[in-house]
Chain A
Amino acid sequence: MFAWSLAIRNLRRRRLRTALTASGIVVGISMMFILLSLVSGMEAQTRSMIRALGGADITVSNSTSFRGGMGGGGPFGALPSPSTLDASIAEVISGIPGVYAVSPQFSFSGSISGRRITIYGIEPASYEIVTGGLNIVEGRFLAENSNGEIIVGNALMEFLNLTLGQTVSLSAGQGGKERTFNIIGVFETGMVFQEYAAYITLADAQDITGEYGVVTQILVKCEDPSIVSDVASLILSTVPGVRVTTPTAVIQQASQTLNTLTMFFATIGLVALFAGSFGVVNTMIMSVTERTREIGVLKAIGAKNHQIMKVFLAESLLIGLIGGGVGVAAGGILAYLFPMLTSGLFSVGASPFGMRNAGLSGRAISNIRLATPAITPTNIAICFSLGALVGILAGLYPAWRASRMKPVEALRHV
């Protein structure tokens, strides 16, 4: 339709005005984009921290403490083997309202190549549902039939000089067997202490320790993160002799803060955008007034009201699209530069467990940095369409005014 060519020509004829008007939107959109990217980045960080902390909403374990003595020495000594629960408790817990899924786990202190570490026996499928799975960096995750297969932490791999596909001997210490396992995958958490561990199937774990029908933890995922504490107390009152931990409580606090931040940032962005939209309204009213005679001519030669409206809506939509496009691009560049500008400001300080530092391996500490913006397609789409939306909304009134002009009066306009 000619509406588009008219709109494009007109914007081109007034390049400076178009640029200035669009820049009002650019400011709002780029701001919005940076803020959304920051929030997305924080969300991603939070997610990976949740994963690093074990992922489950609730961990149910025996209320009596560890059995047996402390595990082997060394800087990264394994945890002592915890007391067990009857495996059937998992069934009971899965029947509790609010529980989405449960995954039994048998962790024990075992040794690989003489090195004592924590071994987790898991049910791969339910483990992935409940915790989101492990961050596999090489190879693959366990499957239901992964008998004799093992996933080893990256730090341990490096420490013991192991390679993927290698066979290692795993023993469960006193009372247990010794069996060989094939390394089929390597996981990474970004936290060294968590990587001195290995995962095998629950069946293998029970077999190697000789403790059939029992588990050490039951990992629980709730239907909604907001009901975690309610479900936890429900578990406590329903199942005797257990203790619950909600390792993600802190993270949930963080994600609530994140939501508040999102709202806050979005509001700032919207206010900026709102201000920018007045520029568009102003420009469009100017454009309509300037072209009153043109509107009269178009009407005289037979343009209908909606066709006139289309001409001006096309124009303001184009301004919005330009503003949205440039805004996303500018915001993207700024979001990309952001970590360099704020380097160190938001990074997590030293932790008692010692974050992996750049010297230890190639992976930088930025792994755990909080404010690394994430540029996601969703954010691009949101910001771009927001620009278009502002363009259309800002153009509605001027376009309507143009369409309502009386042809005779419009033609008289000088």
Chain B
Amino acid sequence: MADVFIPGSLEEAVDFLADHPTTAMPIAGGTDLLVDARTGRSRPERLVDLSGLRGIEGFELDGELLRVGALTRIRSIELDAELGRRATALVEAARVLGSVQIRTMATVGGNLCHGTPSAEMPPSLLVHDAVAEITGKGGQYSVPLAAFFVAPGRTVLAPGDLLTSVRARVPSSAAGSCYLRQTVRWSMDLAGVGVAASVHVEGGAVSNARVALCAVAPVPMVVTGAENAVMGTSLAPDALAEAGRRAAEACSPISDARGTAEYRRQVVSVLVPRALRIAWLRATGSWPEGSPAPVNGVWTRE
């Protein structure tokens, strides 16, 4: 049984964590940590309960700037209509994470800091050029989210560092995004492959594109090659296929109980074009407003 420290402020939390670098761990929603503690993957002696801290929960949109506090519950992202329009991929990722009960407890910060290769939130933040804002013993600093993840279960955070928020750029018009995944079950499953894409469309062509993946490399990754393949195009089939091919080449999946490496590469090459296509349809107003993409991007019509 771990001792629980309830800090009165962010500074107290940082100080406590810095003073106990090998024994203390922060806990917010606890949806990963409690499972890890039960299976023995993690044996914290001291828990620093962040859930009562003020000022780092919730999110705000200011023009094109989105700031998401680390303590923001996944569920509150999932249910926000404005985010649904502006950061559709993020909301789609939130929709498929765990169960309603898990989403109600789990936080964005926890999902990022746990560093799980298949974590749902990173790809959808990466396609919005997200930056991690961190408070540590030496003050505040920022790291591009693409450089935040180091290895499975590891991030750049040093003992005493706390992720406080993530800022991202969400264009207000002519842009769209999408998050798709491959799973065994159609709900309550971890991604075998996760793909987020965003596009900005100007004059009938892609003026900016982002593609990010999870579960197919030791850390979530941005695929610049895939982005370049569609820049300046109107997403003709060959450009989409090329983007898929480049993404499949760029990733480095493993074989495990949730699929083989070869299969995962195939799925990347399939889901990247689909995600880009749906992002394009959204950017151009051709996708039904407020309608989420099917999990695997296949539009089922009756």
Chains A and B belong together in one complex? no
B residues whose Cβ falls under 8 Å from a Cβ of A? none
A residues whose Cβ falls under 8 Å from a Cβ of B? none
